[in-house]
Amino acid sequence: MSQLNEPLQDRLPLRDLPINVAGEWRRGRGAAYASLYPADGSVTAELHAANAEDATEAVERAQAAFERGDWSQRLPHERAAVLYRIAETIRARREELAHLQRRDNGKPIQETRALVDSAAGTFQFFAAACETLEDQLTPQRGRHVTMSVHEPLGVVAAITPWNSPIASEAQKMAPALAAGNAVVVKPAEITPLAALELARICESCGVPAGMVSVLPGKGSVIGDVLVKHPLVKRVAFTGGTSTGRQIAHHAAEKMMPVSLELGGKSPTVVFEDADLDHAVAGVLYGIFSSSGESCIAGSRLFVQRRLYGAFMDRLVAGARALRVGDPLDERTHMGPLVSAAHRETVERYVARGLADGGRLLTGGQRPQDAALQSGYFYTPTIIEGLRNDQSICQEEIFGPVLVALPFDDEDDLVAQANDSVYALAAGLWTRDYKRAWRLARRLQAGTVWINTYKQFSVSTPFGGWRDSGMGREKGRHSLLEYMQQKSLYWGLNESPLPWAA
């Protein structure tokens, strides 16, 4: 592996890394553990996890900070000014934060730079949304003036995943703070670094003490406290479907709003009239970027039967040309999977698919390069010969594994593509704009990409249906998800109300 080339070099491993409990940086009360670099298994940071007592204290102190009002009662443009400073600070520290994210989960450096850019853009967007949000004067229907206004909820819990931490955390922290809330962040246990650094940036830019907490550790401990605590007024969660269901259950008992961005088994579709250069590149990017560790990965490929053989030849050649290796190398396409345990899960899925009759077209093994043996690498894998109803085509693998299936016509395609418990994303490759429109409306997915894939805009809502979740992140109106609506009536009648006359 290449030597580290980053500001952290002289400080690794980071020993006794503190957590943030409502602005107090201290050792967590939970068990000690290490955050490992997936590319070689070396220790990046050693810290003590937060425990249930830490989580309870963070919530209670966050509520006290919220009630002080030195953030929640600031005028929107004053909060926005702080969020703009956060965005600019993230940009100024782009390279350092990108390497921190690389150490967190092993993504290639080019990808982590893009994630840092996304986080900065998210804070900037919600700063603008915050200072331009308008309350509403509603139509008069009596001797009164009526208004609709929005106010912060209080304490918001943000529970984030390990695959794109800094971007996911910004997507929850930025609107929560813009709305005037206190936010308690529970990052994935194995990727705590980006969230902790974002908390430091928030403090340095003027977010008052107590308004941000970051509690690394086990979701079964910390997440349980956050979801059930009566002072937590909203939970924003990105992660697995089974955990999302549990959160939804507890939220229903509390009558608490939630947003749940969960799993996916997204179809990507190639018609015989597609631009093949674009389609091959897009399919490869859709499944193998991020090593397939993405909820919107295009993991089910449907190719029109007349094109199937020729397209698959090009796709397999493209997959074999992808560079799997050191995340620090600018030429790397795919870094390691996040952990040894997760790689073993991916390997079990591939073995099951082959046992069920699948044919391996490429990949399906750990790379042979001696320099990669200490990391959690896996080669880009393509399997064909399975039915859409078989397990490897229905269950989320969350790794670099693509299953390819031919289809005959639009109705056949729609039936197969929609035959899934998930409905998060889909992709279409065709030159026929009428067909693209028709199928984009028929496919059951929260996002449909047409002649592109895995592109995002913070201004456009994102989320899924069914087992892929509920609620939306991003988009101007998602700011309102972190606020409560109130109606005001201003009486204009000159005489007392006639009821008691």
Residue 439 above 70 pLDDT?
yes
Instruction: Determine how many CB atoms are found less than 10 A away from the CB of residue 24.
Output: 14
Centre a 10 Å sphere on the Cβ of residue 303 and count the other Cβ atoms it contains.
27
Q: Tell me: the pLDDT tens digits for 263-299?
A: 999 999 999 999 999 999 999 999 999 999 999 999 9
Catalytic residue numbers read: 172, 261, 295, 473
Q: How confident is the model at residue 9 (pLDDT cuts 50, 70, 90)?
A: low
R_g of the chain, CA atoms, integer Å: 24
Q: Rounded mean pLDDT of 418-440?
A: 97
Q: Which has the closest alpha carbon to 259: 477, 53, 94?
A: 477
Q: What is the mean pLDDT of residues 166-185?
A: 98
Instruction: Read off the pLDDT of each residue in 131-158 and give the average, rounded to a whole number.
Output: 95
- Say if residue 10's pLDDT is above 80: no
Confidence class for position 8, pLDDT limits 50, 70, 90: low
Spatial CA neighbour of 235 closest among 222, 391, 49: 222
What is the chain's mean pLDDT, rounded?
95
pLDDT of residue 105: 93
From residue 246, alpha-carbon distances to 54, 226, 467 in Å are: 22, 13, 12
Residues forming beta bridges with residue 186, ordered by sequence position: 159
Q: What pLDDT was estimated at residue 7?
A: 56
Residue 334 near residue 367, CB atoms below 8 Å: no
Q: In the beta sheet, which residues pair with residue 47? A: 17, 33
Amino acid 3: pLDDT: 37
Across the strands, what pairs with 404?
301, 384
| CA atoms of 440 and 427, how far apart (whole Å) | 9
> Could you give the 3-state DSSP secondary structure of residue 261?
strand
Whether pLDDT at 300 is above 90: yes
Kindly tell me the number of DSSP H helices and DSSP E strands found in the chain: 14, 23
* Tokens (6 digits) for 290: 């991020």
pTM of the model: 0.95
Tokens of residue 318, six digits: 């493209």
Token pair in block for residue 100 = 């921190």
Residue 1 has pLDDT above 70, yes or no: no
Q: Could you report the per-residue pLDDT of 113-135, keeping only the tens digit for each?
A: 999 999 999 999 999 999 999 99
pLDDT reported for residue 76: 97
Query: Residue 11 — pLDDT band, cuts 50, 70, 90?
Result: confident
Residue 187's pLDDT band, with cuts at 50, 70 and 90, is: very high
Query: Which residues have C-beta within 8 Å of that of residue 92, sequence separation ≥ 6?
Result: none
Q: Sorting pLDDT into bands at 50, 70 and 90, what band is 68?
A: very high
Question: Averaged over 244-262, what is the pLDDT?
Answer: 96
pLDDT at residue number 154: 98
Flag whether pLDDT at 407 surpasses 80.
yes
The percentage of residues in the chain with a pLDDT greater than 70, rounded to a whole number, is 98
The predicted structure's pLDDT at residue 205: 98
Q: How far is CA 182 from the centre of its chain?
A: 20
> Does 89 score more than 90 pLDDT?
yes
Contacts of 321 (CB under 8 A, 6+ apart): none
The pLDDT value recorded for residue 12 is 80
Task: Report, as an integer, the average pLDDT of 312-330.
Answer: 97
**What's the pLDDT at 326?**
96
DSSP sequence for 338-360: S-HHHHHHHHHHHHHHHHTT-EE
Secondary structure (H, E, C), 167-197: HHHHHHHHHHHHCCCEEEEECCCCCCHHHHH
Collapsing DSSP to helix, strand or coil, 468 comes out as: coil
Report residue 4's pLDDT band, with 50, 70 and 90 as the boundaries. very low
What average pLDDT does range 74-86 have in this prediction?
A: 98
Residues of the chain with pLDDT > 90: what percent? 96
Contact 89, 205 (CB under 8 A): yes
Alpha helices by DSSP H, listed for 7-75, are 52-68
Q: Is the model's pLDDT at 61 over the cut of 60?
A: yes
